[in-house]
Chains A and B, each alone.
Chain A
Amino acid sequence: MKLRVTPIGNGTVIDHIPAGQALNVLKILGIDRTTEATISVLMNVTSRRSGKKDMVKVEDRELEEEEVNKISMIAPGATINIIRDCQVVEKYTVDMPDLIVGVLRCPNPSCISNTNEPIKSQLLVKSKNPVVLRCVYCEQPITEKIADYLI
């Protein structure tokens, strides 16, 4: 199958997102209906590596490594391509940060981080593969359905 979106001139391409996770990637990056950037979202396109994949292209914006690394929670093998003047000037695989702040809420309803206190959720990354996160506040672990806890 041929890709239906043309290459971008400047910006960031997030490739090799597991099929079905593109919308969660947008959520993590804080891209919603208010965005003024040109965004292309491809879902369920053919991938030689994994059969099917999603892809997100953000035009005229170079995402910071730190913000992009949050994507690794739901798409550990995703690759980031920074494009300038139609050239890939930087390419890397996402790497999970050691501490995830304000991206996921703690699954424990009795946790103080799920109240109206003036704090952001904080999850320590105990293991990257398999993903094991632990709430800094209540110490509850999160190991599965991570996308369900996106803020």
Chain B
Amino acid sequence: MFKKRHVLSMREFSRDEIDSVLDLAESLEPYARGGKCEALSGKILALLFFEPSTRTRLSFETAMMRLGGKTLSLGPAEGSAIAKGESLADTIRVIGAYADALVIRHPKEGSARLASQFSPVPVLNAGDGAGHHPTQTLLDLYTIRKESSLEDLKIALVGDLKYGRTVHSLAYALALYGADITLVSPPTLEMPAPIKSDLAGKGTMVRETHDLDEVIRNVDVLYVTRIQRERFPDPYEYQKVAKSYRIAPENLDGVQDGLIIMHPLPRVDEIAPEVDETGHALYFKQSFYGVPVRMALLKMLVGDRLD
């Protein structure tokens, strides 16, 4: 049963709550593909993006429109102008009075939580600095459930596991499903120790390796993230690391037939374009699944409320 007023962090989701979102997303998928739906007709969603975003912003916008609602949006330029003079709290109070729900992306960690304290309407966190991005995690889980399985899942999380917020949230959520997780990263970008010990404390099997070849044939899902150039002071070091974690068709020899490769996008060099043509490439479909998942959240937060 879903009784949340806001969606701020995956830490607050129980397995039952996740399942209820994914179930509703599944039933809304035909409407995400264009079927007529007026569930949120007359409702307005405000998109407050204080940082640039393409996929997340457009996906929320699409989700609201597919439900028959309308959106108004504050772009990064207006956002930064406001941020100079007005407190976020005031901006939220003002725009919260115009809309039925707010989506916020902001560079400061905890900004969505702050917004929820001042907003008269539900707040959805679309990324707060290096903090949380729960709707990304929910769409990742939806993709795994649809295209592989959340039961007895063997997954490898690959790339920047130190700074990548999506993998931290995803790892916590997968722990609720008892997944077998292998962490594959360069030594300098390993998952922070407190997160690993938290996961182990939840009874999750967590292994760690620096060698992708060691695990690629034994997993159901390969979740690849971008290794950012700016994390490496030495460009040569970056090239070396980026190359060793690049997925190309030749790396896929002997993998399981049902292996799916996911990526939160945008990708740069991590996955060769030739991989797109294989049946393993799921990242574009994954990106689309953001629409039904966000539709489900909007419907639960805006549509089904009696107050």
Contacts and interface: CB of A to CB of B under 8 A. Distances in A.
A47 interface: no
Given A110-B129, A139-B9, A141-B194, A116 B108 contact: no
A113 B194 contact: no
A149 interface: no
Interface stretch (A29-37, A66-74, A77-85, A130-138): A130-138
A50 interface: no
B37 interface: no
A110 B108 contact: yes
Contacts of B88: 112, 115, 117
Contacts of B129: 110, 138
Contacts of A106: 110
A47 B63 CA distance: 66
Interface of A: 106, 108, 110-113, 115-119, 135-141
Contact of B11 (A119, A139, A141): A139
30 contacts: A106-B110, A110-B108, A110-B109, A110-B129, A111-B109, A112-B106, A112-B108, A112-B109, A112-B110, A112-B111, A112-B114, A113-B110, A117-B87, A117-B88, A117-B114, A118-B87, A118-B89, A119-B89, A119-B114, A119-B117, A135-B110, A137-B110, A138-B110, A138-B128, A138-B129, A138-B131, A139-B9, A139-B109, A139-B132, A141-B194
Interface size class of B (residues with CB under 8 A): 20 to 34
B89 A117 contact: yes
A111 B110 contact: yes
By CB atoms of chain A within 10 A, which of B106, B110, B128 has the most?
B110
A136 B9 CA distance: 11
By CB atoms of chain B within 10 A, which of A108, A113, A116, A137 has the most?
A137
Contacts of A113: 110, 114
A138 B109 contact: yes
Nearest to B194: A141
B162 interface: no
Interface in B75-116: 87-89, 106-111, 113-114
A119 B115 CA distance: 11
Nearest to A137: B110
A104 B113 CA distance: 18
B58 interface: no
For the complex of A and B, the 3 pairs showing the least CB-CB separation, nearest first, are: A137-B110, A138-B109, A138-B110
B272 interface: no
Given A138-B131, A139-B9, A139-B11, A116 B87 contact: yes
B117 A115 contact: no
Contacts of B106: 112
Contacts of B107: 110
Contacts of B200: none
B205 interface: no
